[in-house]
Amino acid sequence: MPARIFLALDTPDIAAALTQMRAAGDAIDGIKLGLEFFVANGPAGIRCVREEARPLFLDLKLHDIPNTVAGAVRTAVPLNPLLLTVHAGGGPAMLRAAAEAAHSFGAARPLIIAVTVMTSLDDGDLKAVGQIAPVSDQVRRLAALSQDQGCDGVVCSSHEISLLRQDCGPEFKLVVPGLRPAVGELADQKRVMTPGEAARLGADFLVIGRPITAATDPAAAARAIRSEIARP
């Protein structure tokens, strides 16, 4: 299946989120709403944007004691996200609790996606917080842990796609942010690649924000990215 484009709506404003989503048109496969939006608007804001029936990536990056995370997962399921994130650094018990809470909803459950190493971090950042570099090794450790505890996939940078496909197999979902067209700016991302490169390496979901939302014609920008990822 071709990689799916999820539009990152990185705004706390409901009207702006709806405008950005509508401007991208049918060239996107879903939307991503994250912590900034959720803190500003709560579940009611999520429901407001979800009224237009776009598949939802709810990127809350849950990280707490296992019981609390399990409860948060159960609370999030009625919002009908396709993907829901937890932090892989929460450890095996927390990851297992999140996966079990999601699985208790059967076919209606979201996919639990564990965040490995944020794409804004590099080897120097890992060393600064006492983690073992290089980044690729840490991502592989956390991906293996997440898979072992029942998670459905991970968030990783495009640079780890090939390694994780080799380690975790073809069914494990890889969600890849930090993507920029060849002429785009890096902004606050450090480990980046183009959408076409990430798709050809085997990404399942491409999370793309500013290259679409900041474009003069967001729908045209999204269509151009879709054409790029369709090329062999």
pLDDT in tens, 30-58: 999 999 999 999 999 999 998 777 899 99
Beta-ladder partners of 4? 205
Q: Is the pLDDT assigned to residue 188 strictly greater than 50?
A: no
Q: What is the pLDDT of residue 154?
A: 98
pTM of the model: 0.92
Torsion sign, CA atoms 7, 8, 14, 20: negative
How does pLDDT run across 60-86, given as a tens digit for each residue? 999 999 999 999 999 999 999 999 999
Q: What is the pLDDT of residue 119?
A: 80
User: In the chain, pLDDT over 70 holds for what percent of residues?
Assistant: 95
Q: Is the pLDDT assigned to residue 171 strictly greater than 70?
A: yes
Q: What is the pLDDT of residue 86?
A: 98
- Please indicate whether residue 61 is annotated as part of the active site: yes
How does pLDDT run across 81-103, given as a tens digit for each residue? 999 999 999 999 999 999 999 99
Q: Chain-centre distance of CA 219, in angstroms?
A: 21
Q: What is the pLDDT of residue 186?
A: 44
- 109-116 mean pLDDT: 97
Domain extent at residue 209: 4-230
Is the separation of the CB atoms in 52 and 24 below 8 Å?
Answer: no
**How many C-beta atoms surround the C-beta of residue 128 within 10 A?**
9
- Provide the number of structural domains found in the chain: 1
Q: Is the pLDDT assigned to residue 104 strictly greater than 50?
A: yes
Whole-number mean pLDDT of the chain? Answer: 92
- 192-206 mean pLDDT: 91
Is the separation of the CB atoms in 156 and 143 below 8 Å?
Answer: yes
Q: Which of 32, 61, 173, 190 is catalytic?
A: 61
At 50, which CATH number?
3.20.20.70
Map residue 90 onto helix, strand or coil.
Answer: helix
Band of pLDDT at residue 192, cut at 50, 70 and 90: low
